[in-house]
Structure 1
Amino acid sequence: MTADTMQDDFLLVMTTCPTKESATKLAKALVEAKIAACIQISSPMTSIYRWEDEICEESEFNLQIKCTAQNYSALEVKVKQLHPYQVPELIAVSLTNGLPAYFDWIKETTTP
């Protein structure tokens, strides 16, 4: 795999969930559907944000989702379908550098 084929082919997508159970349910659904290769769920963290003109402070679990750019649309649909939040965080960052064997593994495990 060359650097040219890596650019914009792979994503790190981030979202948060209010409970470990909802994070695990979402992660398993994405991996089982072969939309994502791997999802890491963090320990609880504190999020402070404004919602409906109020400052909120909540405990959340961060999910780091590794997938192909080709699978992003399916990932977005599944997250919106399963996520407990009205407006879930969903941020994707292109991965332009990394271990070629790891990128090969992402592609292999997300191909139906």
Structure 2
Amino acid sequence: MKPLPNLDDHAVVRLSRQGGVAAMPGLTRPREIDFAQCDLDQRTRICSVLEGCLPLDSAAPGRGDQRFFRIEVRYRANDQDDEMVLQVPEDQAPGELVRLWDKGEVSSKD
């Protein structure tokens, strides 16, 4: 399991929900979170959600009609742009990830 990189002002997190029996682009509702627009508390909570998703990452998350969350983390490391992609089966997704995708927010309570 690859650790979560250090995410600073250059980081962008893009969340989408994928999979299912029928392709319905409206249900993917991609959400993009620009860390430059977040305060320290928001960044900390988002990083906590991402850390919780690391062990749930699956190479084949959407088998059959199962939906999954695709998390793309774009960041800067060693003066180069890099990206980490996580795929989390919907039935294993933490509630905080679902809220982040649904409303673009993470509650301060765990």
Give the structure with higher Rg (CA). 1
Compute the TM-score of the two structures, normalised by the length of structure 2.
Answer: 0.30
TM-score where L is the length of structure 1: 0.29
Q: Greater strand percent: which structure? A: 1
Greater relative CO (CA pairs within 8 A, separation 6+): 1
